[in-house]
Homo-oligomer: A and B are copies of this chain.
Amino acid sequence: MKKENKNYHMSADEFRKQGHAMVDWIAEYWSRVEEMPVLSQAEPNELFNALPNSAPEQSEDFTKIMQDVEKHIMPGITHWQSPNFFAYFPTGASGPSILGEMMSAGLGVQGMLWSTSPACTELEMKMMDWLVHLLGLPEHYLLENAGGGTLQDSASSACLVALLSAREKISNLSLNKLGGNTVSDKKLVAYISTQTHSSLEKAMMISGLVTQNLRKITVDTSYAMKVDRLKEQIAQDKADGYLPFFVCATIGTTSSNGMDNLIEIGEIAKTENLWMHVDAAMSVTAAVCPEFRDMHTGLDLADSYNFNPHKWLFTNFDCSALFVKDKSDIINSLSILPEYLKNAATESGAVIDYRDWQIPLGRRFRALKLWFTLRHYGVEGLRHHIREHIALAQEFASWVHASSDFEIVAPHPLNLVCFKHTAGDVVNEALVKKLNTSGDLYLTHTKLNGEYVIRLCVGQANTTREHVEKAWELIQASL
């Protein structure tokens, strides 16, 4: 006699019904997002206090949940998908990418080992090779060569992995595996510029290399690392008994899109036996277009390289690409193999187990969304939109340039323009606050040379000339 199975799972029919409704909800959201205040106007704890303190005892109807989404969640959303979002950096999202996320969730596989879903590993391998060709990266990053690529959750994690690989490589004692002296006994020092992303400092904290062994090199007037200062600092550190081991160069700094000189830094790295990591989170997406590939000059000198398809390549967060010149460096620093993860494929050495290329053990099937996105747009489509964004930013810059009230404060080679009102910090800060509170657009700020400056970054999929024009009108009208 078969026991009757009571079942609380969502039925297939109900999932189809609610799933179709969710797809429509997303399509509808994308069409109405332009009308919403970009920066959420919610007060602290507004949502937290509005929800019950505990999960419900009994199952609730999904339509009731969706009502609560409209009532409680939507007012607390800052609309990163709005075409009027010019803050921070774009967060790529697109129809094909969302479809990839859906399939990944539906399949629900774990990609920690090759054997736990070969397709999850191998599609990722293939996508990493595609990115090498798409951006014109050095061929040593192709998996058939010594190097290779992998998807991480974020540039922060990618930088940390690069730093750990460098630490392991410099340590002839193979310190993690065999014991021996500890890292800090060696007084390892790393080099970044004052404009390098904060994730490098965080990586130093996490790795125990400690931030006092991180040297922030000053920058020139274009916010690129002063290479002479780097040289001097290295000489000083060596004289003081430190061991220089790592330098991070940036293609497109977060604050102002500053471009470090990869050739000069790379040559120093080679001479001084430093690992060179290149952080290129947003900007190098432009290298999809051949006319913007100059920024990669010198990249062949780098040991590792990272950029984020989840920023400007129409692919949902999280999807951050990390490449290393030599696979064994990354694997040596992060591999560990307990009995319960052993399997024939791993032991044959014929496959990649990507868990050895990252901090966590588990991993999602991220390559699907990248595959869907690259195929949907085609190289041609990607180039079209990236060129359009850059042209819009350049046009915006020309308006600022022509204005007597505002001025450009940094080079703007791509899609980010830093500018300020000539009246000083107080006026600029008030202007940003007024604009963001209006809900009509969202901009963020940074400080350059100690001054408060406004950043306008063009990169949302649906931002067009009209949105940029309107932004400029609002900026002028909000003084």
Asked if A205 is at the interface of the complex by the 8 Å CB criterion, the answer is yes
A241 cross-chain contacts in B, Cβ below 8 A = none
Partner of A96, one of B62, B318, B364, B433: B62
Going nearest first, the 7 A-B pairs with the smallest beta carbon separation are: A208-B208, A76-B119, A10-B95, A8-B381, A19-B23, A26-B106, A182-B184
Asked if A110 is at the interface of the complex by the 8 Å CB criterion, the answer is yes
Number of this chain's copies in the assembly equals 2
Is B65 a contact partner of A376 (Cβ separation < 8 A)?
A: yes
Asked if A462 is at the interface of the complex by the 8 Å CB criterion, the answer is yes
Interface bits A315-335 vs B (CB < 8 Å: 1, else 0): 011100000000000000110
Interface locus among A154-162, A223-231, A296-304, A398-406: A154-162
Asked if A105 is at the interface of the complex by the 8 Å CB criterion, the answer is yes
Is B107 a contact partner of A81 (Cβ separation < 8 A)?
A: yes
A339 cross-chain contacts in B, Cβ below 8 A = 255, 445-447
Partner of A8, one of B40, B44, B338, B377: B377
Is B109 a contact partner of A58 (Cβ separation < 8 A)?
A: no
A47 cross-chain contacts in B, Cβ below 8 A = 118-119, 122-123, 126
Is A116 a contact partner of B376 (Cβ separation < 8 A)?
A: no
Known contacts A95-B15, A154-B362, A378-B56, A119 near B208 by CB under 8 Å: no
Is B210 a contact partner of A54 (Cβ separation < 8 A)?
A: no
- What 7 additional pairs, Cβ within 8 angstroms, besides A8-B380, A177-B211? A9-B462, A15-B27, A19-B98, A55-B378, A57-B378, A73-B119, A81-B107
Q: How far is the CB of A338 from chain B (nearest CB, A)?
A: 4
25 contacts between A and B (CB under 8 A): A10-B95, A16-B24, A19-B24, A19-B26, A26-B105, A26-B106, A40-B115, A40-B119, A51-B126, A55-B374, A55-B375, A55-B378, A59-B375, A60-B375, A65-B96, A78-B116, A80-B107, A80-B109, A101-B101, A156-B362, A157-B360, A197-B338, A206-B359, A317-B364, A340-B455
A218 cross-chain contacts in B, Cβ below 8 A = none
Is B55 a contact partner of A108 (Cβ separation < 8 A)?
A: no
Question: Closest residue to A92 on the B side, CB-wise?
Answer: B108
A72 cross-chain contacts in B, Cβ below 8 A = 119
Interface bits A209-239 vs B (CB < 8 Å: 1, else 0): 1111000000000000000000000000000
Interface bits A186-218 vs B (CB < 8 Å: 1, else 0): 000000000001110110011111111000000
Interface bits A67-92 vs B (CB < 8 Å: 1, else 0): 00100111111111100000010010
Is B119 a contact partner of A77 (Cβ separation < 8 A)?
A: yes
Is B62 a contact partner of A99 (Cβ separation < 8 A)?
A: yes
Is B156 a contact partner of A359 (Cβ separation < 8 A)?
A: yes
Asked if A415 is at the interface of the complex by the 8 Å CB criterion, the answer is no
Q: How far is the CB of A354 from chain B (nearest CB, A)?
A: 13
Is A55 a contact partner of B133 (Cβ separation < 8 A)?
A: yes
Is A60 a contact partner of B376 (Cβ separation < 8 A)?
A: yes
Q: How far is the CB of A321 from chain B (nearest CB, A)?
A: 13
Within the assembled complex, what's the spacing in Å between the Cα atoms of A97 and B58?
A: 17
Q: How far is the CB of A71 from chain B (nearest CB, A)?
A: 11
Interface bits A377-389 vs B (CB < 8 Å: 1, else 0): 1111110110010
Is B110 a contact partner of A80 (Cβ separation < 8 A)?
A: yes
Is B211 a contact partner of A208 (Cβ separation < 8 A)?
A: no
Asked if A372 is at the interface of the complex by the 8 Å CB criterion, the answer is yes
Known contacts A55-B130, A91-B108, A73 near B123 by CB under 8 Å: yes
Within the assembled complex, what's the spacing in Å between the Cα atoms of A18 and B371?
A: 16
A22 cross-chain contacts in B, Cβ below 8 A = 23, 99, 102-103, 106
Q: How far is the CB of A212 from chain B (nearest CB, A)?
A: 4
Asked if A172 is at the interface of the complex by the 8 Å CB criterion, the answer is no
A59 cross-chain contacts in B, Cβ below 8 A = 375-378, 380-381
Within the assembled complex, what's the spacing in Å between the Cα atoms of A401 and B225?
A: 69
Is B464 a contact partner of A5 (Cβ separation < 8 A)?
A: yes
Is B461 a contact partner of A9 (Cβ separation < 8 A)?
A: yes
Within the assembled complex, what's the spacing in Å between the Cα atoms of A353 and B94?
A: 27
A102 cross-chain contacts in B, Cβ below 8 A = 19, 22-23, 26, 98, 101-102, 105
